[in-house]
Amino acid sequence: MKPVRALTLSSVLAALSVLLLFLGSLLDVTDLAAVMVASFFVTLVVIECRGAWPWLLYIVVSVLSFLLFPGRFVTLEYALFGGIWPILKYWLERLPRLPSFLLKLLIGNGLAAAAAWLGLKFFGLEVPASVWLKAAVVILWDLLLTRLIVLWCVKYRARFRRLFR
């Protein structure tokens, strides 16, 4: 993809991600859903743009969410798990299946636990009681993200590419 188009796509998805994270921060129930949708936006940039664009999207959304609505747990969830997970997934799935699965399980749960621990200890945030359940959702999110990637590549990617000719 041309750099101007990659910048445009990343910018639009960054704005949508920040908006979703704000909406997710309004209710404790919707925070994980907002992080997952914003995470899928990073996945789209990984698929379509590659290179440094996913990292830039992740950094921009993380910094903006910390600046615009500090003191919300959803910002930690995105910064420590949701935003970086698609990028890590891309690199970890290049490994053989068993080491990839074990590393994804270890890193994913470690990132989710780190978000909860940092929220409690350093930021003084009130971490929802369901955060420990969220650590168990890591594998389900990985499987769902894999299905969404396949759906995007098979069904919607050709339509998207026609828009960006």
pLDDT band at 62; cut points 50, 70, 90: very high
DSSP-derived letter for residue 37 is H
Q: Assess whether pLDDT exceeds 70 at residue 127.
A: no
d(CA 79, CA 112): 10
Overall domain count for the chain: 1
pLDDT of residue 72: 78
Q: Assess whether pLDDT exceeds 90 at residue 42.
A: yes
d(CA 87, CA 92): 9
Query: Domain range holding 114?
Result: 3-163
pLDDT of residue 69: 84
The CA radius of gyration of the chain, in Å to the nearest whole number, is: 16
Q: What is the mean pLDDT of the chain?
A: 86
d(CA 96, CA 142): 16
The sign of the dihedral angle between the CA atoms of 152, 158, 159, 163 is positive
Alpha helices, H only, the chain: 3-26, 31-48, 53-68, 73-77, 85-92, 97-121, 131-151, 157-163
pTM of the model: 0.86
Q: Assess whether pLDDT exceeds 60 at residue 131.
A: no
Across 40-44, 113-117, 149-153, least confident range: 113-117
Q: Assess whether pLDDT exceeds 90 at residue 118.
A: no
